[in-house]
Structure 1
Amino acid sequence: MELYLLNTASGLKPCYDSDFEEKKKLKLGQTYKAKITLARNIEFHRKYFQLINTAWAYQNEATTKHFKENINCFRKTVEVAAGHCDTVYSLSRKEWIDVPKSIAFDKMDDAEFQNLYDRVKDVLFSVFLRHISEYDFMNNLSNF
């Protein structure tokens, strides 16, 4: 079980309804062991995926077919192009290839994630969104 908790003067408080529902499963009077870590900004994480989703929506049919109509392939390709990858040797291809690193919450802090966001945005506008106004595009993200 993993919860997002806010530290208050009266104790730890669940941040979201889903966290509250999970906390309700804990039995009163029982002792639990918890690992406390500073959570990465969940809203910024959502904004990142909105950036990817919006960029994907701007792609033409040929581009989406190139990525097998799979937004996750598109996201990982952009992350590799942004340098967020490890280089490994492919035995089947007999060559070195780049594979995307994890963007999981426990793998990156806020500063690293902000850096990734900025580099991904640069890749999107230099490769996939060259003919789109950044101002217009960013207006589509204005709800974040």
Structure 2
Amino acid sequence: MNIIDAAYNTVHDYPGGSSALATRMGIKSPAVLNSKVNPNTETHHLTLAEASKLMALTGDYRILQALAAEHDKIAIDLPDIPECRDMALTDTILCIGTKGGDVMSKFREMMADGRITSGEAKDMSKIIHQMHIKLGQLDAEIQACIENPQKEKA
């Protein structure tokens, strides 16, 4: 799905559609919002701020997902860890999430020519090994939160 279709569907799939959303978004009329998300309208367009507000109001992130996909990226939810506000734990999981892309990038690169060389396999093994280390660190940090639920780091 492209970003234009995602915006259109976000508005029209929302209960009450543009009539329910326009006022909440600070847009003068539902017709204006309809025009902004209509793929056939050349004169009105959603601004980035409006797209962000639309996603926040609806809880529908298809626009973000479509934009990320258009650039060969992904968007993931940040972890919600209310029981343990350990910033080191949050940092660890975010690093795993961002570094995990190395596995996918390396795999894509490795498979570009349709075969896997010995050197490519060794490179992939190194990346996987580093991922195992990070996952082990994450497991230890999570266990520490269970054992010390009052632990709060900033």
Provide TM-score, normalisation by structure 2. 0.28
Q: Which structure shows the higher strand fraction?
A: 1
Q: Which structure shows the higher helix fraction?
A: 2
Q: Which structure has the bigger radius of gyration?
A: 2
Provide TM-score, normalisation by structure 1. 0.29
